[in-house]
Amino acid sequence: MKTKPRVLLLSATSGAGHVRAAQALEKAFSARGDCIVEHIDALQHVSKLFQRVYDKTYISMVRRAPELMGVLYERTDQPWHHPRRRLALDRLNTGPMIRLLKRVQPDLCVATHFLPAEIIAWLIAKRKLRARNAIVVTDYDVHAMWLCRTVDRYYVAIDEAAEYLARIGVPREALRITGIPVDPLFAKPLDRHEARRHFGLAAEATVILVAAGGYGIGPVEQLVKDLLALQRPWQVVAIAGKSEKIRERLEKVARTAGKLSDGSPKLCGVGFTTEMDQYMAAADLLVGKAGGLTTSEALARALPMALIEPIPGQEERNADHLLEAGAAIRCNNLPAAAWKIAKLLDDPARLTRMRDAARSLGRPGAAAAIAEDAIRLLD
């Protein structure tokens, strides 16, 4: 009997999107039944100091110094420059991951973060690993940090990203335009009224979904207060993510927010949830950050977006692509954001065009498409 190939998915918890992409791929590979799949967090297999610095520095910079994030993003986005210096630093701190890869010897590695992708590519180049190597880029642009030489496949979100990679020397035969992988649940049609009944939301009112992201980052509380202050017949559903403090504050605001004419609460505060596919199906507009995974999920549900203060760097570039496609508006100034959102919702024709644009850009089957193509590398 032929042994099933072993697929190793590698993500990193510096930003929730890398992990969610790998989890989506894990479901897609598992559903095939023709391989053994395992998902590991690369940051659990590095030195403790490196783990603390890598993870906490990212979150701290996003919260306290987003402008510095933008500067670092732009200055390090130099294709094929300084890879040896970066690799030397990463090798110094990823000994446990290197030992794990050598011991497991997977047949196929799929990385949703550039740190493990670089280590895998180096091990293959040194012939210490025999695996086929695939990289899944989790933003719409491809930063130089994703670039490696010994890569069999790059899976990217949009045509422009593939063209960019081809122009800077990546072989076109290694490129696949699949979209960013989202949970396969997003590929299943879901009726809006059914989704609203599931959560006990208003059946007919406009539902605005405000998302703070997995780590509860962003000006959620103030934005919610500003939306409620407009006294419109909207229902606001605010997702606090993993931030218990934000969830508690939202619950406090909800108690004084009042009700709609049908008796539904004007504000519904939600903590961490695994049902974003249903919340997005229930909503008319997503208000939140421009992360690659969140926006890809919204596109998969044909949900228009209002992007709030995108983080300089990858979020700004993501926002640019979504604005260009007509699937989103951008709110750069928090004090005027609620007014801008109201202006959009007062224009149903424009909202419909944005929904159509989101539907055209959406790739709800990305995870399954990546799994199918990547397995073929083993033929």
For the cut 70, the answer to whether the pLDDT of residue 275 exceeds it is yes
Longest dimension (CA), the chain: 68
Which pLDDT tens digit goes with each residue over 58-96? 666 666 667 777 787 788 888 988 666 677 767 777 888
Task: Give the three-state DSSP class for 253.
Answer: helix
Q: Which residue has the higher pLDDT, 15 or 244?
A: 244
For the cut 70, the answer to whether the pLDDT of residue 259 exceeds it is yes
- Write the CB contacts of 111 (distance below 8 Å, at least 6 apart in sequence): 9, 10, 11, 117, 120, 133, 134, 135, 136
CATH class for domain 188-361? alpha beta
* Kind of pairing between the strands at 36-41 and 328-331: unpaired
| The most confident of 15-29, 220-234, 305-319, 351-365, by mean pLDDT | 351-365
- Write the CB contacts of 219 (distance below 8 Å, at least 6 apart in sequence): 308, 309, 334
Q: Which residue has the higher pLDDT, 64 or 11?
A: 11
How many CB atoms sit inside 10 A of residue 78's CB? 11
Query: Residue 267: enclosing H or E segment and its boundaries?
Result: strand 267-270
Task: Name which of 136, 137, 108, 144 is nearest 124 in CA terms.
Answer: 108
Tell me phi and psi for residue 34, to 5 degrees. -110, 15
Task: Indicate the DSSP class of residue 259.
Answer: B
| 152 token code pair | 């069999």
CA-CA distance, 375 to 153, in Å (whole number)? Answer: 11
Q: Which of 57-61, 226-230, 280-284 has the lowest mean pLDDT?
A: 57-61
Q: Which residue has the higher pLDDT, 265 or 212?
A: 265
Burial readout 114-140 (b: 16 or more C-beta within 10 A, e: otherwise):
bbbbbbbbbbbeeeebebbbbbbbbbb
What's the average model confidence in pLDDT over 5-24?
91
pLDDT score of 215: 47
What's the average model confidence in pLDDT over 328-344?
95
Average model confidence (pLDDT) for the chain?
91
What's the average model confidence in pLDDT over 238-244?
85
pLDDT band of residue 27 (cuts 50, 70, 90) is very high
pLDDT score of 74: 87
pLDDT score of 85: 67
CATH class for domain 6-182+364-376? alpha beta
Q: Do domains 6-182+364-376 and 188-361 have the same CATH topology?
A: yes
CA-CA distance, 312 to 201, in Å (whole number)? Answer: 34
Q: Which of 41-55, 130-144, 216-230 has the lowest mean pLDDT?
A: 41-55
pLDDT score of 87: 74
- Write the CB contacts of 276 (distance below 8 Å, at least 6 apart in sequence): 211, 239, 297
Q: Give the CA-trace dihedral at 354, 356, 360, 363, to 10 degrees.
A: 80
345-351 CB contacts, 8 Å cutoff, 24+ apart: 345/206, 345/208, 345/232, 345/234, 345/284, 345/285, 351/284, 351/285, 351/304
CA-CA distance, 110 to 377, in Å (whole number)? Answer: 12
Q: Which of 67-71, 75-79, 236-240, 254-258 has the lowest mean pLDDT?
A: 67-71
Which pLDDT tens digit goes with each residue over 148-187? 989 999 999 999 999 999 999 999 999 999 999 999 999 9
Share of the chain above pLDDT 70, in %: 92
What's the average model confidence in pLDDT over 269-278?
92
CA-CA distance, 221 to 247, in Å (whole number)? Answer: 9
Domain boundaries, the chain: 6-182+364-376, 188-361
